[in-house]
Structure 1
């Protein structure tokens, strides 16, 4: 199950996100999304957990929890939208 985590502190790192969710079970991947120019966190990330029940428990327990002075939101991630491909040719 892929989870979307928002309202993370701007100093929150990917490793911290993984450790937070590992308390609930196996984590396949974790990523805090960063600005590509400044490399600063955008305040959200994604966590993938292979076990549905562990992921749901983590989502229910962590949603609304205060982490580093901010109340985080944890929901099931929506699949990415199809984006039109742009070509440099005219």
Structure 2
């Protein structure tokens, strides 16, 4: 299973629009349009799950930079949350480099 990050989406973009776009390249198991917890307002990005790695790679290659709803999408393989955080962001502590000075 490959999870794909889709960014820079219009706030009017629907789940079915994203699903239809990615289904051109293979089977899509889930589409999650992310929203603000408190208000439910769209956050402008989504995650798409595709079971086939080759299908996902083709979708990423063909859709990155393409327009949906008048906006140029960012499309790439999603990273784990821990990979996406800067050093020291998870603990709230100073970096080991600063501690050694």
TM-score calculated relative to the size of structure 2: 0.76
Residues 21-80 of structure 1 show CA distances to partners (whole Å, capped at 9, x for unaligned) of 111110011111011222121000100100011101100010000111100010110012
Runs of 5+ in structure 1 lacking a partner?
Answer: 85-90
Tell me if structure 2 keeps the 8 A contact 1:17–1:31: no
Cα RMSD, aligned residues only: 1.6
Structure 1 stretches of 4+ with a deviation exceeding 6 A read none
**Greater Rg by CA:** 2
Richer in helix (by share): 2
TM-score calculated relative to the size of structure 1: 0.85
Runs of 5+ in structure 2 lacking a partner?
Answer: 84-89, 92-101
